[in-house]
Amino acid sequence: MFLTRFKLISLLISSLITLQSVLSLAEPDVLQRHQLEPLKRGTSYVNMVYFVNWGIYQRDYHPQDLPVSRLTHILYAFMNVQVDGTVYTEDTYADLEKHYAGDSWAEGNDNAYGCIKQLYLLKKANRKLKVMLSIGGWTWSTNFAAVAGSTTTRATFAKSAVTLMKDWGFDGVDIDWEYPANEDDATNMVLLLKAVRDELDSYAAEFASGHRFQLSIAAPAGFEHYSKLHLADLAQILDYINLMAYDYAGSWSTHTGHNANLYANDEEPDATPFNTDGAVRAYLDAGVPAEKLVLGMPIYGRSFQGTAGLGEPFVDVGFGSWEKGVWDYSALPKDGAVPGFDPAAHAHYSYDATTRELISFDPPEAVQQKVAYLKQLGLGGAMFWEASADKSGSASLLETSFQSLEVLDNTDNWLHYPNSRYRNIASGMEEGAS
Mean pLDDT of 417-431: 94
Q: Rounded to an integer, what distance in angstroms lies between the CA atom of residue 126 and that of residue 123?
A: 5
Residues with a catalytic annotation lie at 178
Sort strands 87-88 and 46-52 into parallel, antiparallel or unpaired. unpaired
Q: Tens of pLDDT along 85-109?
A: 999 999 999 999 999 999 998 877 8
Q: 403 Cβ partners below 8 Å, 6+ apart? A: none
Q: 172 Cβ partners below 8 Å, 6+ apart? A: 130, 132, 133, 165, 200, 213, 214, 215, 216, 239
Q: Tens of pLDDT along 257-272?
A: 999 999 999 999 999 9
At residue 14, does pLDDT exceed 80? no
Stated pTM of the model = 0.92
Q: Are 351 and 306 in contact (CB under 8 A)?
A: no
Mean pLDDT of 360-377: 99
Q: Cα Rg for the chain, rounded, in angstroms?
A: 22
Structure confidence at residue 32 (pLDDT):
46
Mean pLDDT of 162-189: 99
Residue 9's pLDDT band, with cuts at 50, 70 and 90, is: very low
Q: Which of 103, 94, 104 is nearest to 63 (CA)?
A: 94
Instruction: Report which residue type is found at 389.
Output: A
Q: Are 128 and 409 in contact (CB under 8 A)?
A: yes
CATH class of 36-300+366-426: alpha beta
Q: List phi, psi (to 5°) of 142.
A: -55, -40
Give the DSSP H/E element, type plus range, for residue 158.
helix 151-168
Q: Tens of pLDDT along 201-252?
A: 999 999 999 999 999 999 999 999 999 999 999 999 999 999 999 999 999 9
Q: Is 426 strand, coil or helix?
A: helix
Q: Which of 232, 154, 168 is nearest to 196 (CA)?
A: 154
Using CA atoms, how far residue 35 sits from 256, 281, 282, in Å, is 28, 12, 15
Which residues are 69's β-sheet partners? Answer: none
